Chains A and B, each alone.
Chain A
Amino acid sequence: MKRVKRRYLALQIDIDGAPSRKEFMDAVWSAVVKLYGEYGASLTSLVLIDYVSEKKTAVIRTSLATLDLVRASLASITCLADRDAAVHVLAVSGTIKALCKTLKLS
């Protein structure tokens, strides 16, 4: 079986207050489902890897094939936990190690 290529995305959440892990993932899933439906969302293999509530940063993993789809969905988020919000992609990488390296450099 062919190995599934993945991409890790480092995210910055632009919001007043600190949303919980669940609130954040609910907003991400809701954006993906709204734009691509349940079938589209099932293709993304979206997983939350890390979430730092104080810093409002997160790392998520998705499959390479649906990277554009996930990026568009993240950009379409305007509301998180009933508050105005935006989710910005800080970096994208193929491994967590490289992602950390890119973030440190920037």
Chain B
Amino acid sequence: MKKTFTDLHFRLNVKDPAATLLMINKVATLGYRLIAVPFAPETREGEVSKLRAICNKAEIDFASRIDLRPRTQDELMHQLRRLRRKFEVVCIVCENKAVARQAAKDRRVDLLNFPLLDFRRRFFDRAEAELASNSLAAFEIDVRTMLVLEGPARIRLLSSLRREVAIAKEFHVPIVVSSGAAEERFLRRPREMAALAFLFGLDEASALKAVTHNPVAIVKRNREKLSSKFVAPGIRVVKEGKDC
């Protein structure tokens, strides 16, 4: 079966249509079949559908994504209540431990992301992984930072990513490798992303899973939940009417 290569963190400047079109065409030529673009919480449906149309033209599937940066657990819960049903992928950028723990527990959260440059605020430890393994959250890694950094900063980043990936594997937390790219020069082919994942200890099969199966599963699950026919996990309306 043909793999659906996915980039769940593809940052686009939606206000610049020419650059957006160029980037989407580039992504299509690189071999991606599904991308997720983060939007601001107050984004109107019109903007999302406009981008969806551009992606459809380039024969790429598109998913809307929101990146939340709550400062407290209450703020997280409030934002999730308000925005969960509006976006197909919800990512929490965990800037403190309390938020990280709550996000890992919550089944409405799809992705857990941690500030890549501040090593003291990377809270993906064994406790976090255990909570995430009981919910649906996946651990997201952006390769962009790895490409930008050099020298000791990159060494430190790779070392902490290697430790976190080992923990995620131990607790069976799905790993998603995304580009996090906003510029063309940081775009890589899916297999190159998998090759970069080799640097933090993912073997070829797991790395390919992190750019195909794991992100696709998140989008598929959420699309099912957001569909009007969804009742509960495993139950959906097949037919409606008097003859049922």
Question: B-contacting residues of A (Cβ < 8 Å)?
Answer: 14, 34-35, 68-69, 71-72, 74-76, 78, 84-86, 88-89
Contact = CB atoms under 8 A, between A and B. Distances in A.
A33 to B, nearest CB: 12
Interface of B: 30, 146-148, 150, 183-189, 191-193, 195-196, 198-199, 204
Contacts of A85: 185
Given A34-B150, A68-B204, A76-B146, A88 B189 contact: yes
A84 B187 CA distance: 12
Contacts of B30: 88
A68 B185 contact: no
Contacts of A88: 30, 188-189, 192
Contacts of A78: 147-148, 185-186
Nearest to B29: A88
Nearest to A79: B185
A72 B204 CA distance: 12
Contacts of B198: 68-69, 71-72
Contacts of A74: 192, 195
Given A68-B195, A84-B185, 4 more contacts: A34-B150, A69-B198, A75-B193, A84-B183
Contacts of B204: 68
A84 B198 CA distance: 24
Given A68-B198, A71-B198, A89-B191, A76 B147 contact: yes
A3 B198 CA distance: 26
B199 A72 contact: yes
21 contacts: A14-B185, A69-B198, A71-B198, A72-B199, A74-B192, A75-B188, A75-B192, A75-B195, A76-B196, A78-B148, A78-B185, A78-B186, A86-B184, A86-B187, A86-B188, A88-B30, A88-B189, A88-B192, A89-B191, A89-B192, A89-B195
B185 A72 contact: no
Given A86-B185, A86-B187, A35 B192 contact: no
A14 B198 CA distance: 22
A15 to B, nearest CB: 9
A74 B192 CA distance: 8
A3 B185 CA distance: 38
A35 B196 CA distance: 11
Contacts of B187: 86
A102 to B, nearest CB: 14
B42 to A, nearest CB: 33
Contacts of A71: 191-192, 195, 198
Nearest to B150: A34
Contacts of B192: 71, 74-75, 88-89
